Structure 1
Amino acid sequence: MEFWTNIPYKTNQSMKYIVVIVLVVCVYSCKKNNKENEFTKTYVQKEEIQLVNPKIIVNNVIIDTSSSIIASLPLDQTVIRYTTDGNEPTETSEKYTDIISISESGTYTFKAFHPEFKSSGSEQVSFFKKGIDVDIFSLITPLNKQYPGQGESTLVNHKKGTLNFRDGEWIGVTEPFIAIIDFKTKIFLDSVDIGYLVNTDAWIFPIQNVSIAFSENGADFTDIEPQEALEKIKTGSTKLDNIHIPVAKKLKKLKIKISNVTSIPKWHQGKGNPAWLFMDEWIFNAKISN
């Protein structure tokens, strides 16, 4: 009887030891796994986090004598790089180290890099040389009461609008826009730069079409076919842009007609409606002609 009564006792003791061992192993494994998971999670999070875009501060994008760019992103080990050829910056592009002085027209693209995070998106800013002054700017199309800008001078006041289409530097229309520019004296017009805004969320689309005619005597006009292909937006977008139109003619007057998107595309919530067209500065790159 003593033999049989001792078996349960020894078995219980053994089971207790086994349970304790199993618990210890489980706790150790869990702690180890948690540490590994925490390390992996931290590593993955850092690899997946993208840097915010660098902040770009510009005096004026229309250059009279000079302008400047300041780029910043206050995070240790961050390097900002930039290009001037329109391409996306890479880790081998020019390194931004100090304020950049600008005296010529061109496009600057900035991007931030960090050893532990994904590189930022890019920020782009274009500079334009101040064009020749206009003597008389006559609107054939009346201004829209909702977005009149600062009147007809909005397009020739040597100021560029921002991404905020309510900043007062934009003329907004929903129908073709026609203006006649009188330079008073004869000039040789090299080209025209027409600034516009894209903000598809606000139903603002790119320029659909441009028609230009010039007059050498101030009365008779001859058409010029624009050579630049116009942008077609296929997805949502918000940006400042510009159309550069070569002219290379002696003239006294210029007639410009800008057409908007007459029907918003099917992918957009406003499909079928006429789109807004927002324009700011028109720059006339010219010299006085004898």
Structure 2
Amino acid sequence: MKKIIYILIFIVGFSCAKNKKPNYTQTKEIQLVSPNFTVDSIFFKNNATIHFSSVLANTTLKYTEDNSSITQQSKTLKSPLRIEKSSTIAVKAFHTDYKESETVKLQVKKIKHNISSAAIRIFPEPSSTYSANGATSLTDLKSGYPQFKKNNAWLGFNAKEISFNIILDKPLLLSKITLHTLTAQGDWIFAPEHISIKNNNTIIGELVNKEASKQSFSGANVNFTEVPITPKTYNALTIVVKSLNGIPNWHSGANNIPWFFIDEIIVE
């Protein structure tokens, strides 16, 4: 008789556990994985197509194109995005049972001038470990990605000052120079402290980055660093990039020379 009672208790307990609903409160504390993306070209002449996806079924992707915060009321991503102008696309995943994901941002750039035939001299030469295809990598419209150790598009320099001398194949009316760079402080890769643009030894534009030494261990990030220049027609430019004198004291690599990574120079 006692054995039968134990069996009944087991059956009832199993039935209750089977019919018990998931704890909604608990799942709401689990954050969704950020969306994945692929893009046919970070730099484009006419347009770019971006595909976003999520690892969890029944997830809704919301996005913005104007740097505004993403909410449930933002536009819903239903198909690949076709971009026809320089944009910063921000995407976040939502699900009724889980906490919304972190925002993923992707910046794409429409190219006005293709300078792939320009002659470029670099001093000093990039590290042999991160040399990509040499100077031609700076004008081939091929983007490097945050996973720089698995990507052969970046030129990496471990120097306090780097100069890029550019001779264009034809004069161009220009007002801005953009450098596509990488920061990854955990890997000793920092943003430059100063960038100057010269023409015939005359400075025509410069940028001072007061945030270069600021601590920001947010992983690896690619950046479009824009430097306005005096609007004029140019056929030769010199870009001088100055790194921090040393990695800041808060870093484990304090006082060492930081790395500078670049993969593209854009003129417009």
Q: TM-score range by the shorter chain?
A: 0.7 to 0.9
Whether 1:84 aligns to 2:69 is: no
Cα distance in 1 for residues equivalent to 2:105 and 2:260: 22
Cα distance in 1 for residues equivalent to 2:236 and 2:261: 24
SS in 2 for 1:225: strand
How far residue 49 of structure 1 moved from its aligned partner, in angstroms, is 0.2
Q: 1:99 to 1:228 in 2, by over 3 A?
A: farther
Q: 1:117 to 1:228 in 2, by over 3 A?
A: farther
Q: 1:228 to 1:72 in 2, by over 3 A?
A: farther
Q: 1:230 to 1:126 in 2, by over 3 A?
A: farther
Instruction: Indicate if the aligned counterparts of 2:193 and 2:209 stay in contact, CA closer than 8 A.
Output: no
How far residue 246 of structure 1 moved from its aligned partner, in angstroms, is 1.6
Cα distance in 2 for residues equivalent to 1:272 and 1:227: 23
How far residue 228 of structure 1 moved from its aligned partner, in angstroms, is 7.0
Unaligned runs of 5+ in 2: 1-8
- Alignment correspondent of 1:223: 203
CA-based RMSD: 2.2
SS in 1 for 2:62: strand
- Alignment correspondent of 1:253: 236
Whether 1:143 aligns to 2:126 is: yes
Instruction: Indicate if the aligned counterparts of 2:194 and 2:207 stay in contact, CA closer than 8 A.
Output: no
Cα distance in 2 for residues equivalent to 1:243 and 1:230: 13
- Alignment correspondent of 2:152: 168
How far residue 227 of structure 1 moved from its aligned partner, in angstroms, is 5.1
Whether 1:273 aligns to 2:256 is: yes
SS in 1 for 2:133: strand
- Alignment correspondent of 1:193: 178
Q: 1:45 to 1:153 in 2, by over 3 A?
A: same
What amino acid is aligned across from residue 277 of structure 1 in structure 2?
A: F
Match of 2:56 among 75, 93, 96: 75
How far residue 70 of structure 1 moved from its aligned partner, in angstroms, is 0.9
Match of 1:207 among 183, 192, 195: 192
Instruction: Indicate if the aligned counterparts of 2:192 and 2:209 stay in contact, CA closer than 8 A.
Output: no
What is the TM-score when the length of structure 1 is the normalising length? 0.78
What amino acid is aligned across from residue 82 of structure 1 in structure 2?
A: Y
How far residue 255 of structure 1 moved from its aligned partner, in angstroms, is 0.5
Cα distance in 2 for residues equivalent to 1:203 and 1:135: 31
Higher helix share: 1
What amino acid is aligned across from residue 192 of structure 1 in structure 2?
A: I
How far residue 97 of structure 1 moved from its aligned partner, in angstroms, is 0.6
Instruction: Map 1:90-169 to 2 at 5 A.
Output: 90-130=71-111, 131-133=113-115, 134-166=117-149, 167-169=151-153
Instruction: Indicate if the aligned counterparts of 1:228 and 1:245 stay in contact, CA closer than 8 A.
Output: no
Cα distance in 2 for residues equivalent to 1:251 and 1:221: 13
How far residue 243 of structure 1 moved from its aligned partner, in angstroms, is 0.5
What is the TM-score when the length of structure 2 is the normalising length? 0.84
Q: 1:230 to 1:191 in 2, by over 3 A?
A: farther
Q: 1:88 to 1:262 in 2, by over 3 A?
A: farther
Larger Rg: 1
Cα distance in 2 for residues equivalent to 1:190 and 1:202: 33
Cα distance in 1 for residues equivalent to 2:124 and 2:165: 10
Cα distance in 2 for residues equivalent to 1:110 and 1:140: 39
- Alignment correspondent of 1:243: 225
**Count of residues in Structure 1 that have an aligned counterpart in Structure 2:** 246
- The CA deviation string for residues 178-209 of structure 1, in whole angstroms up to 9 with x for no partner, is 01111143221121110111112211111221
What amino acid is aligned across from residue 87 of structure 2 in structure 1?
A: G
What amino acid is aligned across from residue 260 of structure 2 in structure 1?
A: L
How far residue 230 of structure 1 moved from its aligned partner, in angstroms, is 5.6
Instruction: Indicate if the aligned counterparts of 1:261 and 1:276 stay in contact, CA closer than 8 A.
Output: no
Q: 1:164 to 1:265 in 2, by over 3 A?
A: same
Whether 1:178 aligns to 2:159 is: no
